[in-house]
Amino acid sequence: MLLPVDSTVAVIDGEKLRLFRNTGEPGAPKLVALEEPELSSENKSSGSRHSSSSANNNDSRLDEDSFVVAVVGWLNTQALGKGFEELAVIAAPKSLGELRKHYHKALEAKIVVELAKDLTGHSTADIEVALAKA
């Protein structure tokens, strides 16, 4: 997939969101970091399938799901408000699964690439290489 020029790239895991704009040519992505939005991950209902109890003490999974839902809520708002025209989503596999459950139709229509990879801790160059291979 050739990533269009001026596409937004969101790199996501259960704790972090990194945003970029592609300024490179199709087939040779060149990413420029964008400011990250303020997100509230207080929506604990998003992880109801992974609820924590004395028998299943997994607050970290619930926190990760809540953060991912906050990210997808922000992405949905941007897609509806013309915040971007094309979007590449690179997310850790578990996060990508949670993201997909909450995509708005407007957001789905703008996604040009999805990669199930955990690249939030990687360099911009590593992310560019992954996108070039997609």
pTM (predicted TM-score): 0.84
Using DSSP, state whether 31 is helix, strand or coil. Answer: strand
Give residue 52's pLDDT band: very low, low, confident or very high (50, 70, 90): very low
DSSP assigned state of 58: -
Q: If you average pLDDT over residues 24-29, what whole number do you get?
A: 88
Half-sphere exposure (Cβ direction) of 45: Cα atoms closer than 13 Å: 1
Give me the domains of the chain, ranges plus CATH numbers. Answer: 8-133 (3.30.420)
Q: If you average pLDDT over residues 104-132, what whole number do you get?
A: 95
Q: If you average pLDDT over residues 26-39, what whole number do you get?
A: 91
Res. 54: pLDDT tops 90: no
pLDDT at position 113 is 94
Q: Is 77 exposed, middle or buried (0-12, 13-18, 19+ CB in 10 A)?
A: middle
**Residue (of 104, 33, 28, 31) closest to 71 by Cα position:** 104
Give residue 26's pLDDT band: very low, low, confident or very high (50, 70, 90): confident
Q: When comparing pLDDT for 30 and 82, which is higher?
A: 30
- Tokens representing residue 73 in the block: 């809520």
**Residue (of 75, 87, 34, 41) closest to 60 by Cα position:** 41
